[in-house]
Amino acid sequence: MRTNTLFITSFIAFWACNSQPTMQNNHEGEKANRLINSTSPYLLQHAYNPVDWYPWGEEALEKAKNEDKPIIVSIGYSSCHWCHVMERESFENDSIAKLMNDNFINIKVDREERPDVDQVYMDAVQAMGLGGGWPLNVFLTPDQKPFYGGTYFPPAQWASMMGSIHKAFNEKRDEVEKSANDLTNALSTSEIVKYRLKETEQQFNKEALDSMFAIMQSKFDFEEGGFDKAPKFPMPNNWLFLLRYYHIRQNQAALDHIALTLDKIAMGGIFDQIGGGWARYSTDAEWLAPHFEKMLYDNGQLVSLYSEAYQITKSLLYKESVYKTIDWLEREMLDESGGFYSALDADSEGEEGKFYIWNESEFQSVLGSDAEVLKNYYNVSKEGNWEEKNILRRLQSDEEFAETYDLSIDQLKSLVTTTDQKLLDTRSKRIRPGMDDKILSGWNGIMLKGLIDAYEAFDEPKFLTLAENNAEFLLNKMTNEEGLYRSYTAGEASIDAYLEDYAYVIDALSALYQVTFNEKWLTKAKSLTKYTLDHFYDQEEGLFFFTDNSSERLITRKKEVFDNVIPASNSQMALNLYQLGVVFDDQQFKDKATSMISKMAELMKEEPAYLSNWGILYAYMATPTAEISIVGPKAAEMQQQFVKRYLPNKVVMGDSEESDLPLMESKYAMNGETTIYVCYNKTCKLPVTSVEKAYEQLR
């Protein structure tokens, strides 16, 4: 495969260097193409390109076969900066569009609507050794097999490369087909075979957690937090794993690095200091200059992370970051239906970050006499800290800053609150970044879990209200008789959900039960889990496919096992099976979870940063899981007292009335008082009527 792929790559590169068509820029797309009927904001952005775009589907794929033309699949998402750049430079260019239309069948894909398509062709480009990212542009044979691709291409290179590929396809067809077949065969290799995953008898132990921590620690950035290179992506799951590791081993170095990292991210430019919410990633090592898009899935995970970290540290910085972010979520990302939108663009007026940055004179005019102090607080200067403008960030903690300026903490916080509102009011008058208003079930599940974690940490009623409304939306608008839909736009749900969607909705519904004790959430979590076992589970390999067995068949059916910015759907399903197995006393669920993690255990010890969600399950397996039952008239109220301390490896059940859950059997309120039962592996300690006594039993 490698030899043939390199041959095609060399052939294309040769002709690209010797073929330079004349290009003329014309950005006036007056006639709509087929994408005009799409619901995806990303596809609609391209609806007036002169390129004859098709959405992914039978019409385009059949046309490629009938006309025997290669396919261009161009994949991106609405808030992707370089996707916008390539559109302006190439897809709005009439002469480039003509090359595309004459020689190729052109398909546009929103990776957020169709992660299955994105996954297959991203793997293909990476297998070619060409790197990955978005926009992702891949050339396929008429039967959908990839043979060349890449990410962003400048217009001259894109145009000349298309000429080369057209020539290669017509003059070297046998080599192109062989390369595509070899690559497709490689992509179809089972993950079990590819990564040598083998189920082995596991003795889950704390010493293995020490080894995982040591590997992660070797890559820490001890100055700026996170890991040791730029760009820096927030990877909440790594730090959620480290929180659990700290809880088990009381390793101060782990907590110190979590605190350093979370402090730097919360005070950096990657966090919207006045409006709340985190951007996608930082382009530098200091968390200063973000790629300004805000994604729902990042913010959901970071709300969970900062809420959990608060339970250990009681850091007001973490609390304020969560509250500001949920304010942003409610203000800017909440649909009237109760669902949350997907993303805010990085660009406004065609310029990255323009909505968020400040020059000194504007900052001064908004704040007047308070400007001098606040310029130092938010690192604002005449020369700027980013492209001659200022990204607001903080270089000192509030305590340090208050001492420097001889202010009390209360005085400083009052000043900052007033300042933030003035700046926010001014900023709201600017032209806003684009909004991707599609609602994705899995990403909503991630955000729903964040709201639940925030409610547990801070006992803020609004957080629970938002969570319950969102859960109602998911059940009422994004489910059918059996399963889930992926996307909801303009009042209509569409696209069969992927494993990712099921995994995170199940997780959130299970968590919502554990703070409300309303068993309808738990019942739905179990029914969705059974659906995944019927429609996604590979009985032979003991892992889940990413796609439903009734969904459209692509050239290969993938399994997602590595944790990334969104943890792998298989690792989350393993966690779901384990927790629901405990709650329902379902040994089959628990056995499947054990089988799944045992396959990953050896790989996890080598690459813990890419398998940290698996690491969380490993930590649960290495320590006893607390089974907490709360029974009585004030069960929900006592639950909220109980969860104020950090105890990640637990399930909490309860009700003021009788429950059919196996672990609630024979548990009752003593003398009419709300009673807590602390159990391990279905063996319970003496029932108690106070949270303090329950914690003594847990210790």
For the segment 437-463, what is each residue's pLDDT rounded down to a tens digit? Answer: 999 999 999 999 999 999 999 999 999
CATH at residue 560: 1.50.10.10
Looking at residue 687, its pLDDT comes to 95
Residue that is last in its domain, among 188, 218, 235? 188
* Alpha-carbon gap, residue 453 to 444, rounded angstroms: 14
CATH code of the domain containing 57: 3.40.30.10
Q: Are residues 87 and 113 in the same domain?
A: yes
Residue 193, amino acid: V
> Could you give the CA distance from residue 421 to residue 424 in angstroms, rounded to a whole number?
5
3-state SS assignment for residue 505 = helix
Per-residue pLDDT band for 16 (boundaries 50, 70, 90) equals very low
Check whether residue 416 and residue 451 sit in a common domain: no
Confidence grade of residue 699 (pLDDT, cut at 50, 70, 90)? confident
Give the separation between CA 163 and CA 98, rounded to whole angstroms: 11
- Would residue 387 be called left, alpha or beta, if left means φ above 0 and alpha means ψ between -120 and 50 degrees? left
CATH code assigned at 399: 1.10.10
Q: Are residues 273 and 367 in the same domain?
A: no
Rounded to whole angstroms, the Cα distance separating 109 from 144 reads 14
Q: Is the pLDDT of residue 32 over 50?
A: yes
- Residues 238 and 304: their CA atoms lie apart, in Å, by 13
**Has residue 2 got a pLDDT over 80?**
no
Domain presence at residue 195: no
Q: What percent of the chain has pLDDT over 70?
A: 95
Kindly state whether residues 404 and 461 are assigned to the same domain.
no
* 194 occurs within a structural domain: no
State the pLDDT at residue 201. 84
Beta strands at 53-55 and 105-110: parallel, antiparallel or unpaired: parallel
**Within-domain flag for 153:** yes
Asked, for residue 536, whether it belongs to a domain, the answer is yes
The answer for residues whose C-beta is within 8 angstroms of residue 15's C-beta and 6 or more apart is 160, 163, 164, 167, 168
Is the residue at 323 inside a domain?
Answer: yes
In a domain, 311, yes or no: yes
Domain count for the chain, please give it. 4
Question: Do 110 and 162 share a domain, yes or no?
Answer: yes
Domain that holds residue 393: 360-429
Provide the whole-model pTM.
0.94
Statement to judge: residues 440 and 341 lie in one domain:
yes
SS (H, E, C) 109-134: EECCCCHHHHHHHHHHHHHCCCCCCC
Only one residue has tokens 């001014």, namely 426
Structure confidence at residue 22 (pLDDT): 33
Say if residue 586's pLDDT is above 90: yes
Q: Does 138 reside within a domain? A: yes
* pLDDT for residue 14 is more than 80: no
- Is there a single domain that holds both residue 90 and residue 219? no
- The CA radius of gyration of the chain, in Å to the nearest whole number, is 26
pLDDT of 404: 95
Mean local confidence (pLDDT), 88-108: 97
The rounded distance, in Å, linking the Cα atoms of 271 and 287 is 9
End position of a domain, from candidates 569, 593, 622: 622
417-441 per-position pLDDT tens digit: 999 999 999 999 999 999 999 999 9
Q: Assess contact for 296 and 343: CB atoms under 8 A.
A: yes
Based on the domain organization, do 417 and 457 belong to the same domain? no
Same domain assignment for residues 337 and 398: no
Tokens of 540: 């032979």
Give the residue-averaged pLDDT of 37-59: 96
Supply the pLDDT for residue 5.
46
Q: Is the confidence at residue 24, as pLDDT, over 50?
A: no
Cβ neighbors of 520 (< 8 A, separation 6 or more) are none
Predicted local confidence at residue 643, as pLDDT: 86
Q: How far apart are CA 531 and CA 508, in angstroms?
A: 16
Same domain, 668 and 561: no
**Count of positions (residues) in the chain:** 699
User: In the listed set 158, 188, 218, which residue is the last one of a domain according to the structure?
Assistant: 188
Model confidence at 7: pLDDT above 50: no
Does the structure show a pLDDT above 90 at 507? Answer: yes
At residue 175, φ and ψ (nearest 5 deg) are -65, -40
Q: How far apart are alpha carbons 547 and 76 in whole angstroms? A: 20
Specify if 196 maps to a domain: no
Residue from 249, 189, 259, 175 nearest 222 by CA? 259
Distance from C-alpha of 314 to C-alpha of 242, rounded to nearest angstrom:
17
586 with 662, same domain? no
* Structure confidence at residue 30 (pLDDT): 67
Burial (CB < 10 A; 0-12, 13-18, 19+), residue 203, is exposed
Label residue 141 by pLDDT band (50, 70, 90). Answer: very high
Q: Based on the fold, state whether residues 389 and 485 are members of the same structural domain.
A: no
**Average pLDDT of every residue of the chain:** 93
Interatomic CA distance for residues 132 and 265, integer angstroms? 25
Give residue-wise pLDDT tens across range 227-280: 988 999 999 999 999 999 999 999 999 999 999 999 999 999 999 999 999 999
